[in-house]
Amino acid sequence: MRATLTIMAMLWAGTAIAVPMNCADLTPEALGTSDVTFTEVAVVPAGEDSPVAQCRIRATTAERTGSDGRPYALRFELALPDDWNGDFVHQFNGGNDGEVKPATGALGAGTGDQSPLARGFAVVSSDAGHDGAANPDMGLAGGAAFGADFEARQMYGYKAVEILQPLARQMVDAYYGTPVERAYGIGCSNGGRHAMVAAARMPDAFDGLLIGAPGFNLPRAAVQHALDVQTFQPLTGDIRTSFSTEDLHLVADSMRASCDGLDGLKDGLIGDTAACQAAFDVTALQCTGGQNSDCLSAAQVQALQTIHAGPKGADGQQLYSDWAWDAGIEGGNWRFWKVESTVPPWDQMPIIAVMGAASLAQIFTVPPTEVGGSPQELMQFLLEFDIAGQAEMIDASSDALPESPMEVMSPPDSDDPALAEFRAAGGRMIITHGVSDPVFSVNDTARWYASLDKNNDGQAADFARFYPVPGMNHCSGGPATDAFDLLTPLIAWVEDGTAPEAVTASARADNDEVPEGLQGATRPLCPAPQVARYQEGDPKSADSFQCQ
């Protein structure tokens, strides 16, 4: 009786009550959808398969046959928690997509210890319109084979979100019997790119965007893969031995010797990475006078300078970005991407030489190039890619592929962002990026944010804030305080207008790349251009630092 009276009082007060449908009886028609096929509807209890009790829908839409004769569809998973908070998260996935990741909302973009699903958000996740496992006969190149079909490229670039966002939101509205109050988008890497594209193409679709390591210039960044391979492979004839683990530790140790105290405390963590760019000189590591240990060869020093400078065109123009010097170069994630993986089917080749090569060949160039699916064939493609002569293929189009890879993948205004419509719609975004990201340069993101600020008369911080993470690799890892929650301040910013400032970041206890004794240490994560500087007190506590 008391519960009934409480509900009646809430109704009299004008408060909407979410009354979910019966999950077991759900059909597309019941949710008011068309052209959707449910492949699974399940009542999922809280446990190993889900942090909370939920109704889970797995479905497909946009089914078609591509120009390449292959079947395509947009597959997705929608998680509808029993204890719904009234809000919705679109989970943007990474890599080449092609797989429906579990719809929890937490994908390395700084959501903290508790996933959005665990917080009560309804969450949708998709494969962006293609099945990455559909072409096993193509070996390691199969996951990028969809690049032969123009609509599949479009789906991957922007159309999947354009289709799924209103569809999933409609399904959430119908299931709970009340409209979604606020919508958020969350993703890291290619997922961060999806979020940036959505802000430009769908300015009123999201109230808040949490963006990690955004690959908003992904085709240009893919040219860096060719530069890395062509620079590292000749050092020893095998990219996997071009730099030993000890070599990269030596580089990081040299950076610490030059830069560690620039934030006011010598603790093994470099906080002022901007000042470090001028203080560190990699040529000081070059072997001299018969020295053959604790130093780098002249060729290794030149190689590091070359890759940090970024790819150049025939006239010396910058094709992508330069890169920041940072101690995270010793991180396992950095090595995994650029030097050597631990994956036997890849023959321990780094990600750039396998997955990166397949993407550059088949998705990020026009016309696409047919490549073999072995690690050696993919590696050879990058070795033979003419950076100065062929990089124009990322801006090319054709009758079969009428939008260039850059037009498909990047926000329309990525070179000169203003996001006026997103701002006018009341949108808020938080961007975070590891300074030692080996995939997408933090310098590229920093320049993007500087342009955004200029185009908003120095007031970009009114709706967008950028948090570089010193030492962090791609989305996580490295000698860094890489555990942090930026979702909570984003929610506060969207819901009550409280703009985010410093956020406490922690060195994970299981991160053995953090200098000894600093596991569990905390630091302020500061919005750019501020830097966390030591004041006084416990060197392991964020309270001893200030963002300045």
Residues 283, 251 contacting (CB under 8 angstroms): no
Provide the pLDDT for residue 16: 52
Short-list 157, 145, 218, 156, CA closest to 370:
145
Angle at CA of residue 84, ends 80 and 90, nearest 5°: 55
Residues 456, 449 contacting (CB under 8 angstroms): no
| Residue matched to tokens 């300015």 | 203
pTM of the model: 0.95
Residues 411, 214 contacting (CB under 8 angstroms): no
CA distance 160 to 75: 10
Torsion of CA 165, 171, 173, 175, to 10 degrees: -150
Q: Which residues contact 185 (CB under 8 A, 6 or more apart)?
A: 89, 90, 92, 194, 195, 198, 206, 208, 209, 210
DSSP letters for 462-477: GTEEEEEETT--SSS-
DSSP letters for 40-91: EEEEE-SBTTBSS-EEEEEEEEEEEE-TTS-EEEEEEEEEEESS--SEEEEE
Integer CA distances (angstroms), 115 to 99, 137, 504, in order: 19, 36, 18
Provide the pLDDT for residue 34: 87
Provide the pLDDT for residue 17: 58
CA distance 94 to 360: 16
Alpha-helical segments (H) within 403-462: 405-409, 420-424, 442-455
Short-list 139, 152, 41, 39, CA closest to 97:
152
CA distance 334 to 325: 12
Catalytic residues: 189, 437, 474
Residues 394, 153 contacting (CB under 8 angstroms): no
CA distance 213 to 481: 16
Provide the pLDDT for residue 145: 97
Short-list 75, 70, 67, 64, CA closest to 149:
67
Provide the pLDDT for residue 13: 41
> pLDDT tens digit string along 108-144?
679 999 999 999 999 999 999 999 999 999 999 999 9
> Could you tell me where the beta strands, DSSP code E, fall in 217-320?
none
Integer CA distances (angstroms), 265 to 260, 331, 517, 532, in order: 7, 22, 15, 10
Provide the pLDDT for residue 107: 66
CA distance 61 to 42: 19
For residue 136, the tally of other CB atoms under 10 A from its CB is 8
- Each of the 548 residues of the chain gets a pLDDT tens digit; together they read 333 333 333 444 444 556 799 999 999 999 999 899 999 999 999 998 999 999 999 999 999 999 999 999 999 999 999 999 999 999 999 999 999 999 999 766 799 999 999 999 999 999 999 999 999 999 999 999 999 999 999 999 999 999 999 999 999 999 999 999 999 999 999 999 999 999 999 999 999 999 999 999 999 999 999 999 999 999 999 999 999 999 999 999 999 999 999 999 999 999 999 999 999 999 999 999 888 889 999 999 999 999 999 999 999 999 999 999 999 999 999 999 999 999 999 999 999 999 999 999 999 999 999 999 999 999 999 999 999 999 999 999 999 999 999 999 999 999 999 999 999 999 999 999 999 999 999 999 999 999 999 999 999 999 999 999 999 999 999 999 999 999 999 999 999 999 999 999 999 988 999 998 898 999 999 999 999 999 999 999 999 999 99
Residues 79, 90 contacting (CB under 8 angstroms): no
Short-list 296, 206, 219, 215, CA closest to 250:
296
> 296: which strand partners?
286
C-alpha radius of gyration, the chain, whole number: 24
Q: Is beta strand 54-65 parallel, antiparallel or unpaired with respect to 71-81?
A: antiparallel
CA distance 197 to 257: 40
> pLDDT tens digit string along 188-210?
999 999 999 999 999 999 999 99
| Residue matched to tokens 């917080």 | 119
> What tokens does 152 get?
């599949």
Residue 290 CB-half CA count within 13 A: 0
